[in-house]
């Protein structure tokens, strides 16, 4: 009977909502132990063994090596009352809303970032990335760290507006569930080339985490970048500035890159070619000319 | 070592005639973003403010305009340099370098302020066409469709060329200025030496002049347009000529508007509308005055009706990472063109609506008073940051000049904001 049906639905609706809520809580509890949101962690206290605050989280640094899909967290950059300290990941324990220092003393001496380190807040969060899987240029609204037996790895980024909107509100106690997450292995990043030629100036977080030189760090292509077809390379290239275009063009399959270049107007093609290394430029120009002859 | 970024190209061997021609051609090829961005400032609101300056205080504001020109050149140059060297617009750069909350705040304010400006641009088109006897109910919808169609359906290079032709409509103002027989000696004396008045009304007008000449949409537009046009660092010298000459040309026109009104109706008090200015000039300039003013107003309002919504679209698409290009199709860049379309529809719609709605929305321009100091500070920090601009970072002398400009403009914008808010209650 319809009435009974309706009543039944009403009765079922209550437990359904409860179970959904329970599922969500379970997800959050699981996430709480497994995932950390970088946006949620930045600015949080760094405490010593007694629980006293020694500074604030300024950045989380990962060590980037060619061939690794998800780089490991190598350290945390802490803003102290005077200057900055780069603590090794082995010296700290990451928690959802704080970073605990294991050792009793913090070395404030030269906080020099290694050449292949990336500051996630400085180089990735809010920066342009190429989502190879989704063939689009995105901006990272949040960065997630995943727990492994031997430390934390860079899991991926969130590119959804929800993740960005969360940052406008108050910080959460635990890592919010990802909304539109992209695996780090599917992303092509554009990290400024770091050099540690200069003595780090500890009053500037950028310098404390390594000095940035000109250009973009090359040589770490995303897993599937070379598999992209010409149309896909062209779509990505059209959304980037000349320097980033050049990076994508030099890392993509040459034939696809040459075809994508053909679709740009003369001005933009020249700008891209101007940013390439001599060898990449010669190779792409040869491909362009050989196609023209055909 | 960083090279100080001077406004002028470094001194090299004297240019031969052939090299001059090559240089001129290079500048002409690149001409566009800088010229268009700055000249959109001579829109309906701008014309009214400049005409009021002339009618209220005669030539006294001329020296101020010279100072404002320096500030406009400095600010616009920094923005186009940021665009060319980073390959990103201001929306994206602000998101990368500043907190989520301040980015969101700045872009929300820009969205609302630009929406208000778009309404006033369409109202300006209506007013200009009324001078020629065309009803606003006909002219505004046609203009809206034309502006939308040119930008969305046509190729942008063609639209840009048309915009550059519209800039020529501004020649109407120098003609009007000469026809009004200004006192040459007086003009020059006021241009090279300050003749300021220590009154509140002079201060308010001075701030209004700054506000209408240096407006946030110009900075967002120029930075994104140079990226969209694919201007590379190697071409920056030509782009700098475009930006600097665009800013100077725009302000020379503003100065001519002040001279025209100062000579014809100087000392009569403030004006209510640009149309009133055109009418008031008739006895001195002759029967051509309304037509000349109408033509200039129409050109500028059409230009700004396209540039202002484009700057919002660029800023927001840039910050969200969505595709953004005037060369893309609607399907390729839905957010960019969707926002552009929405602004045109709402802007033209409100401009056509009866009642005081227009006045209300135009008041949203007060928001420009909040965004200007905020945005200029962002621009200054970005252009001073080596990590953003590398070798193209602000040089030491430029840094001092730019900081001075930004501080003065920021402080003045803040004063007008306080006065406006006080006036509301």
pLDDT tens-digit series, residues B165-178: 877 778 888 888 88
Number of residues assigned to chain A: 294
Percent of chain A with pLDDT over 90: 5
User: Which residues from chain B sit within 8 angstroms of residue A138, using beta carbons?
Assistant: 321
Q: pLDDT tier at A213 (50, 70, 90 boundaries)?
A: very low
Which residue intervals of A42-195 are DSSP H helices?
A: 161-168
Q: Flag whether pLDDT at B270 surpasses 50.
A: yes
Contact in structure between A140 and A154 (CB atoms under 8 Å):
no
Of the listed ranges A13-27, A84-98, B69-83, B323-337, the least confidently predicted one is A13-27
| Element of type H or E holding A94 | strand A92-94
Contact in structure between A218 and A250 (CB atoms under 8 Å):
yes
Q: Both ends of chain B: CA-CA distance in Å? A: 53
Using the beta-carbon criterion (under 8 Å), do A212 and B88 form an inter-chain contact? no
**Residue B346: predicted pLDDT:** 92
CA angle B337, B340, B345 (to 5 degrees): 125
- Cβ-Cβ contacts under 8 Å between A and B: the total is 69
**Angstrom distances, CA of residue B24 to CA of A196, B12, B121, B233:** 42, 16, 33, 18
C-alpha distance from B57 to closest chain A C-alpha (Å): 46
- pLDDT, chain B, mean: 82
Q: pLDDT tier at B8 (50, 70, 90 boundaries)?
A: very low
Compute the average pLDDT of residues B57-62. Answer: 89
Percent of chain A with pLDDT over 70: 74
Q: Flag whether pLDDT at A184 surpasses 80.
A: yes
Taking only residues 16 to 35 of chain A, the set having a beta carbon closer than 8 angstroms to any beta carbon of chain B reads none
Percent of chain B with pLDDT over 70: 88
When comparing pLDDT for B5 and B358, which is higher? B358
C-alpha distance from B197 to closest chain A C-alpha (Å): 45
For residue A269, give the chain B residue with the closest CA: B230
**Residue A109: predicted pLDDT:** 47
CA B243 from centroid of its chain's CA atoms: 12
ipTM above 0.90, yes or no: no
User: Which residues from chain B sit within 8 angstroms of residue A244, using beta carbons?
Assistant: 87
Helices A266-275 and A254-262: crossing angle, nearest 10°? 140
User: CB-based contact (8 Å) between A239 and chain B?
Assistant: yes
For residue B319, give the chain A residue with the closest CA: A139
A161 C-beta neighbours (distance < 10 Å), count: 12
**Residue A112: predicted pLDDT:** 59
For residues B246 and A87, what is the distance between their CA atoms, to the nearest angstrom? 50
**Residue B46: predicted pLDDT:** 84
**Residue A111: predicted pLDDT:** 54
Long-range Cβ contact pairs of A160-166 (< 8 A, separation 24 or more): A161/B320, A163/A39, A164/B100, A166/A39, A166/A40, A166/A142
User: CB-based contact (8 Å) between B108 and chain A?
Assistant: no
- CB nearest B387 (choices: A212, A242, A244): A212
Q: Both ends of chain A: CA-CA distance in Å? A: 75
Using the beta-carbon criterion (under 8 Å), do A168 and B101 form an inter-chain contact? yes
**Residue A221: predicted pLDDT:** 60
Q: What does DSSP say about strands A99-101 and A45-47: parallel, antiparallel, or unpaired? A: parallel
Beta-strand runs (E) in chain A: 35-37, 45-47, 53-63, 72-79, 84-88, 92-94, 99-101, 117-119, 128-131, 136-139, 142-148, 151-158, 181-183, 187-188, 192-195, 211-216
Partners of A146 in beta bridges: A35, A153
User: Which residues from chain B sit within 8 angstroms of residue A247, using beta carbons?
Assistant: none
Residue with tokens 């003045």: B412
User: CB-based contact (8 Å) between A162 and chain B?
Assistant: no
Contact in structure between B242 and B162 (CB atoms under 8 Å):
no
Of the listed ranges A203-207, B154-158, B365-369, B395-399, the least confidently predicted one is A203-207
Q: Flag whether pLDDT at B413 surpasses 90.
A: no
**Residue B189: predicted pLDDT:** 87
Taking only residues 333 to 392 of chain B, the set having a beta carbon closer than 8 angstroms to any beta carbon of chain A reads 386-387, 390-391
For residues B216 and A269, what is the distance between their CA atoms, to the nearest angstrom? 30
Using the beta-carbon criterion (under 8 Å), do B232 and A242 form an inter-chain contact? yes
């Amino acid at each position: 009977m319809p009435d009974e049906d309706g009543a039944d639905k009403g009765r079922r609706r209550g437990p359904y909502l409860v179970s959904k809520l329970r599922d969500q809580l379970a997800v959050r509890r699981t996430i709480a132990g497994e995932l950390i949101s970088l946006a949620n962690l930045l600015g949080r206290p760094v405490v010593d063994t007694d629980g006293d605050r020694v500074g604030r989280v300024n950045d989380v640094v990962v060590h980037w090596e060619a061939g690794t899909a998800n780089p490991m967290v190598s350290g945390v950059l802490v803003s102290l009352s005077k200057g900055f300290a780069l603590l090794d990941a082995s010296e700290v324990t990451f928690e959802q809303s704080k970073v605990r220092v294991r050792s009793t003393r913090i070395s404030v001496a030269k906080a020099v970032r290694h050449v292949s380190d990336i500051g996630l807040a400085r180089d990735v969060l809010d920066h342009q990335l190429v989502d190879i899987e989704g063939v689009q240029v995105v901006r990272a609204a949040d960065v997630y760290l995943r727990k492994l037996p031997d430390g934390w790895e860079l899991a991926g980024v969130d590119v959804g507006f929800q993740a960005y909107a969360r940052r406008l509100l108050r910080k959460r106690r635990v890592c919010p569930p990802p909304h539109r997450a992209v695996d780090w292995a599917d992303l092509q990043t554009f990290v400024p080339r770091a050099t540690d030629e200069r003595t780090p100036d500890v009053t500037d977080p950028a310098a404390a985490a390594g000095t940035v030189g000109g250009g973009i760090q090359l040589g770490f292509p995303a897993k599937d970048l070379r598999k992209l077809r010409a149309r896909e390379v062209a779509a990505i290239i059209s959304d980037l500035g000349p320097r980033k275009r050049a990076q994508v063009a030099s890392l993509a399959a040459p034939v696809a890159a040459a075809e994508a270049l053909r679709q740009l107007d003369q001005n933009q093609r020249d700008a891209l070619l101007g940013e390439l290394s001599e060898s990449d430029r010669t190779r792409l120009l040869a491909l362009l000319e050989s196609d023209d002859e055909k | 070592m960083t090279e100080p970024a001077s406004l002028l190209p470094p001194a090299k061997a004297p240019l031969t005639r052939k090299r001059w021609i090559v240089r001129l051609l290079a500048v002409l090829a690149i001409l566009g973003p800088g010229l268009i961005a700055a000249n959109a400032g001579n829109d309906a609101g701008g014309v009214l403010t400049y005409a009021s300056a002339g009618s209220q205080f005669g030539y006294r504001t001329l020296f101020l305009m010279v100072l404002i020109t320096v500030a406009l050149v400095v600010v616009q140059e920094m923005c186009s340099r940021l665009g060319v060297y980073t390959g990103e617009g201001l929306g994206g750069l602000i998101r990368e370098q500043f907190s989520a909350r301040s980015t969101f705040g700045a872009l929300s304010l820009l969205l609302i302020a630009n929406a208000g400006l778009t309404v006033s641009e369409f109202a300006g088109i209506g007013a200009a066409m009324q001078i020629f006897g065309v009803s606003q109910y006909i002219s505004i919808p046609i203009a809206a469709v034309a502006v939308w169609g040119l930008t969305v359906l046509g190729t942008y290079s063609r639209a840009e060329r048309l915009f550059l032709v519209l800039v020529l409509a501004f020649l109407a103002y120098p003609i009007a200025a000469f026809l009004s027989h200004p006192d040459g000696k007086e003009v020059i004396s006021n241009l090279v030496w300050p003749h300021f008045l220590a009154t509140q009304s002079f201060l308010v007008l001075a701030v209004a002049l700054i506000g209408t000449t240096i407006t946030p949409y110009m900075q967002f537009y120029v930075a994104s347009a140079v990226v969209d046009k694919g201007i590379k660092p190697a071409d920056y010298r030509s782009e700098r000529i475009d930006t600097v000459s665009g800013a100077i040309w725009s302000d020379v026109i503003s100065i001519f508007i002040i001279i025209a009104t100062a000579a014809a109706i100087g000392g009569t008090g403030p004006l209510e509308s640009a149309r009133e200015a055109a009418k008031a000039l008739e006895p001195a300039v002759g029967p051509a005055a309304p037509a000349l003013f109408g033509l200039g107003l129409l050109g500028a309002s059409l230009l700004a009706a396209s540039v202002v919504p484009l700057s919002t679209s660029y800023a927001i698409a840039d910050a969200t990472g969505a595709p953004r290009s005037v060369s893309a199709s609607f399907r390729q860049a839905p957010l960019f063109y969707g926002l552009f379309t929405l602004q045109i529809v709402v802007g033209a719609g409100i401009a056509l609506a009866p009642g005081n709605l227009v006045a209300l929305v135009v008041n949203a321009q007060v928001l420009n008073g909040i965004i200007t100091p905020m945005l200029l500070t962002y621009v200054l920090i970005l252009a001073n940051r080596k990590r953003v601009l590398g070798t193209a970072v602000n040089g030491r002398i430029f840094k001092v000049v730019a900081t001075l400009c930004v501080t003065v403009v920021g402080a003045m914008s803040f004063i007008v904001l306080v006065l406006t808010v006080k006036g509301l209650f």
